[in-house]
Chains A and B, each alone.
Chain A
Amino acid sequence: DADVTQTPRNRITKTGKRIMLECSQTKGHDRMYWYRQDPGLGLRLIYYSFDVKDINKGEISDGYSVSRQAQAKFSLSLESAIPNQTALYFCATSDLLGQGQFFGPGTRLTVL
């Protein structure tokens, strides 16, 4: 079984809709992250959480929110989706040393 899972794997939605992407991990890591990947721009950090009570904005948090429901679960919401949020979204985890992250398989989101 995969250590980091993401649902859904693919999603097509319309402008203005609320979308939630979910991430679960079985690695027992405290730290979890949400990134988006766009061609030529690499991975950009949206939000990160170092434990259940800790939520921090990344470099591109506008238009997104997160919830850390448990150590193993970290969800990302788009309150009102817009076309420029079309991208690949990845969840990742790391241990307390933070030296290297473990990524989920990604969610391909298309906003029409």
Chain B
Amino acid sequence: TQLLEQSPQFLSIQEGENLTVYCNSSSVFSSLQWYRQEPGEGPVLLVTVVTGGEVKKLKRLTFQFGDARKDSSLHITAAQPGDTGLYLCAADNTGGFKTIFGAGTRLFVKA
């Protein structure tokens, strides 16, 4: 069974701090996505990474796909209260027809 493990499960930080959350697996994936979910809403796609070692930036968010395509990290610089939410990673198996989701990292940024 393919599993995606996210860490930490919960993170509470002050506005302006930096943070990194991780998504790890023992399986190789064809692509990996990061989503953010706010209470009462569905997950919103932030980024898709496809190539091993790939780095993508979205304003203050930096996403990296591991060289072996088994893991990924999300780094947020100078976190703001608007970054508060549940961050989910998801990965597609090498056939590209099934996506599995991690349990998520719940981030709370205090003003």
Contacts and interface: CB of A to CB of B under 8 A. Distances in A.
Contacts of B96: 97-98
Nearest to B50: A99
B99 A45 contact: yes
A74 interface: no
Contacts of A45: 98-100
Given A40-B103, A41-B103, A42-B88, A103 B97 contact: no
A106 B42 contact: yes
B42 A104 contact: yes
Nearest to B6: A42
B52 to A, nearest CB: 15
Nearest to A96: B96
Interface of B: 31, 33, 35, 40-45, 48, 50, 88, 90, 92, 96-104
Interface of A: 4, 33, 35, 40-45, 50, 90, 92, 97-106
21 contacts: A4-B42, A41-B103, A42-B101, A42-B103, A42-B104, A43-B43, A43-B90, A45-B99, A45-B100, A90-B43, A92-B42, A99-B31, A99-B48, A100-B33, A100-B48, A101-B45, A101-B99, A103-B42, A103-B44, A104-B42, A105-B41
